[in-house]
Every structure is written in structure tokens, then in C-alpha cells.
Amino acid sequence: MQSTYSSDRLRLTAAATLAAALTWPASAHAQSDSSEDVTAACVRAYETAQENRNAEHLIEARQQLRTCAAPACPAMIQNDCMTWLGQVVELVPSVVFAAKRGSESVFDVSVSVDGKPAVTQLDGNPLEIDPGLHTFIFERAGAPPIEKKMIVATREKGQTVAVAWPEPVSPPPPAPPPLEPIAKERPIPPLFWALGGAAVVGFGGFAAFGLTAQATRHDLRTGGGCSPHCSNHDVSGLKTELILADVAVGVGAASAAGALVVFLTRPERYKPSAIGVSSVGIAPVAEGLTLQCKGSF
């Protein structure tokens, strides 16, 4: 490529010299400044176009080739530039930008290419660009920017550069307030009180009959008593009192044990709610039936 470029410069120099000689009148002492400026501009565009084309800066090369292909340039320069211009136009690729939000296409999007603004809104028109690796940044109001890197191939026209923002997710509904724990209780059943009362009566009877028996025994053994020659009649009263004391203590113990069992095994239940439903009913309406509840708050 370098040898081709050098030979082109030799041809350019010879062409420029020949053009200057042909345009120099024999009787004139100097050429006009405007003619020199046009020729110099053609030469610069000719050289710069080749440098940009070799570096694949095709957009700049195309602009320079259009300059040196103008009719005002020397014929040799003009012919070369016309040939190269057709080749460069064929090589220049283009891209088309597209963006979505979820499944919906959006167009209020601006795009910059390699840090330089490219478009302010998507319209589906292709954008010509130099081949190679490029960084595209898509921006949209209310959404984070999206960066995409992509290699744009030579000669490829209308390559799609597309991005997508996720579908906006509506915030979750606020969490309901935590339910207050339902209070429970273990009420003491009436049977406990009945058995407890029976136990008290039983132990009370045991104490009473026991004390009475002790007093009777003392009377039989001491002054005025019949001991040790007491009759059956005298002894029968003492035996009765002792039997009644034994029965009473048995009833008290059994009642106390039953009350303890009832107390320890009493069931647990929920406390009555402050909201009560006093009645539930079904009433006919125009559309059918409705459930009606009445209660107190």
C-alpha cells in the first residue's frame, strides 16, 4: 500500500507540474493567486484522501475525494479521485438504531457514537459510519443510559444497533400491617370449683370428726370413763366418729386429686373478640342473594 501511495504522489507531482506549465501563458510573468489556490487545494485533498482511505477513515476520505474530483482540479487528479470516490462510497457502511422498552418500541432516544452526539431521536434512517469497533450510548429520559459496543463491518449497509430497557416494574403493594396475635386463655372450669369445694368439705369433716373422736376417746379413758371395761354401746359412738373421719378424709383427698387433674388438663381457647357477630342471614336482592352479617363493634 505504501509503494502505491508513493507512486501516486509521483504521478500527482508530475501532473501538478504539467498543469502549471500548461496554464502558464508564455507572455505572462506570474499565474493568478486563485488558480494556484485551487490547484494546491486539489493536491492536498488528493493526498489526504489516500491517507484517510488507507486508515479506513472512509467518511473523511469521501469528503476529500469529492473535493479533488471537482472539475476545477487537474484532469489526472480529477480522474483518480473520481475512481477512488466510487470505491469509497461502496465501502462506507451504515447503521440503523432501534430501541425498546420491554416489548414496545420507543423513539424518544438520543444516541452518541464514540462520545460524539449522533442522533437526537430515532427515525429509522441509516447513519453512515467508519468501519471498526464503536461504542454506542443510548439515552432516554427517565431511564438509565445503555452502552453497547459493536464492530461495524465494511460494505454492510443498514446494520441494526438495538438495545432494550426492561419493562418498568410497578412497586409491590405495601405490606399489610402485622396481625395482632390472637390472645388465648385457659379458663378454670366449674368442675374444678365443685371438686375443690368437695375437697375442702371432706378435709373439714375429717378434722371435725377426728377431733370429736379424740375427745370421746379421752373421756372414756379418764375420769368418769369406763376404760378398760367399756360397753359396746360406749365404744360404738367412738367407732362411728372414726369411720366418719376416715370417709371424710377419703372424699377430701379424692376431690382434691380430681380438682388438680381438672386444673392441669383444662383446655386452651381463644379470648372472645371485641367484634361480635350477632346474626348472619341471607337476603334476596335484584341480582340474586346477598349474605348479611350484623354485629357489634
At 117-149, the pLDDT tens digits run: 999 999 999 999 999 999 999 999 999 999 999
pTM of the model: 0.50
Predicted pLDDT at 168: 75
Residue 276 forms part of a structural domain: no
23: amino acid identity, one letter: T
Say whether pLDDT at 238 is over 60.
Answer: yes
Residue 290 forms part of a structural domain: no
Task: Return the C-alpha cell found at 113.
Answer: 457514537
42, 100: one domain:
no
Residue 207 forms part of a structural domain: yes
Q: What band does 18 get if pLDDT is binned at 50, 70 and 90? A: very low
d(CA 62, CA 27): 39
8, 68: one domain:
yes
Cβ-in-10-Å burial (0-12, 13-18, 19+) of 253 comes to middle
85, 99: one domain:
no
Domain span at 67: 2-16+32-91
120, 76: one domain:
no
Predicted pLDDT at 289: 54
| Distances 108 to 105, 115, 123, 162, 166 between C-alpha atoms, Å | 10, 19, 9, 14, 16
Decide which of 165, 182, 215 is a domain's last residue.
165
101, 85: one domain:
no
| Distances 33 to 22, 37, 42, 192 between C-alpha atoms, Å | 16, 6, 14, 129
Residue 185 forms part of a structural domain: no
Least confident of 7-16, 209-218, 280-289: 7-16
Task: Return the C-alpha cell found at 228.
Answer: 378398760
Q: Which of the pair, 3 or 51, is modelled with greater confidence?
A: 51
Say whether pLDDT at 27 is over 50.
Answer: no
Residue 245 forms part of a structural domain: yes
Residue 294 forms part of a structural domain: no
Instruction: Provide the number of structural domains found in the chain.
Output: 3
Task: Return the C-alpha cell found at 213.
Answer: 373422736
Residue 100 forms part of a structural domain: yes
With CA atoms as reference, report the closest residue to 152 among 97, 86, 109, 99.
97
Q: Which of the pair, 184 or 53, is modelled with greater confidence?
A: 53
Quick check: bond before 178 cis, omega within 30?
A: no
Predicted pLDDT at 120: 96
Using an 8 Å Cβ cutoff, are 95 and 103 in contact?
no
87, 98: one domain:
no
Task: Return the C-alpha cell found at 279.
Answer: 346474626
Say whether pLDDT at 296 is over 70.
Answer: no
Predicted pLDDT at 1: 42
153, 83: one domain:
no
148, 199: one domain:
no
